Amino acid sequence: MGYKLKEGENNYLPPSFLKEFVRYDYVPPGIDRSKDDILNSIAKARMVFARHKVKVRQGSSVDQLLSRAEREIRKSSGIRARAADLQYVIALTGLLIGLADEKGISILLDRIAKSNMETSCVKPSQGKDAVWELSCMSTFQIGAIHTRLAEPDIVIDIGEGDYGVACKKVYSENSVEKCIAKGVKQIADAQMPGFIALNIDELLIPPRRLMYAMDQETLRGILQGYASDFRARHLSTLEKYGQEGACDGFILSATKVGWLLTTRQWVQITVNLHAPMQSTKAPGSVRLDKLGRLTANADGLEAWVAKVGGKAFGL
């Protein structure tokens, strides 16, 4: 989540920066991890499951995912087909370590341990749904926003009391409205203002089909195009639920692994497109705008890196 400066500068925006923003399509700085960092993260992630008394069965989907990543890293293989798996494991282990102390995380860990977590599977998965909730939570914490796991899925504090986040992952074009309607009901049942964080990864290019580009900005532009196209395709549905005040609006998120032709490295790119469906002065739009400004600053990044390991870049 984040902003671009009006003049088009696209680097990290520190809190002291004069913030003149025009859109929410920039992502915060990332975290670089060495081979040892990743191996340590995998070991620590397994310990998180054990600490919460969640059994990861040998040969289960998540066990195979972690074990394959360990093997790939140790032999320094550049096997293209596994690039998506490895990047996914890097992200997953960081989430498990960084959020290990959150109250209620045991339920999400159990879903991850029992579900199909393979990147090649695009069928509905409670485990992947759980990872999406954790991913949203990490984004807010990197923005130094107080969070907790509670109905609708996450509750955050942007200085205006409880603000609900319904985290929904879409697995097919035909299920978009059903998914949004469920999120709206969750927000209503929680009896607080809120928005829907909608993950559309499974609607992008096929699993294991990787993207190639000269640089990260090109890859990001491709993903921004996918997110914008999704918004256009489903605009009537988004407006139906957003304009009625059932929710403040939406954050559309897309993540994909790509190969940079100039630097010859794999990277994982995430784009978050804010989509308020109300007038700019409506309370819901104002809240979403405030959320965007908080997450753009990434004031909690150093604290997050201290928990999950690695080195922050883009500062």
Nearest CA among 176, 108, 117, 115 for reference residue 137: 108
Residue 9 has pLDDT above 50, yes or no: no
**Token pair for residue 197?**
């964080």
Whether the predicted pLDDT of 4 surpasses 70? no
Q: Can you read off the two tokens belonging to residue 123? A: 């069928």
What is the model's pLDDT at position 220? 87
**Can you give the length of the chain in residues?**
315
Residue 211 confidence (pLDDT): 81
Residue among 258, 264, 286 at smallest CA distance from 274: 286
Q: What angle do CA 116, 119, 123 make, to 5 degrees?
A: 55
The amino acid at residue 201 is D
pLDDT in tens, 214-262: 888 888 888 889 999 999 999 999 999 997 778 999 999 998 888 888 8
Element (H, E) at 197: strand 194-199
At 213, is the secondary structure helix, strand, or coil?
Answer: strand
Bigger pLDDT: 85 vs 18: 85
Q: What pTM, to 2 d.p., does this model score?
A: 0.87
For the segment 259-271, the average pLDDT, to the nearest whole number, is 83
Phi, then psi, of 246 in degrees rounded to 5: -65, -25
Q: Are 225 and 254 in contact (CB under 8 A)?
A: no
For the segment 260-275, the average pLDDT, to the nearest whole number, is 84
Above pLDDT 70, what percent of the chain?
84
Tens of pLDDT along 154-185? 999 999 999 999 999 999 999 999 999 999 99
What is the Cβ-side half-sphere exposure of residue 10, based on CA atoms within 13 angstroms? Answer: 9
CA 61/CA 2 separation, integer angstroms: 33
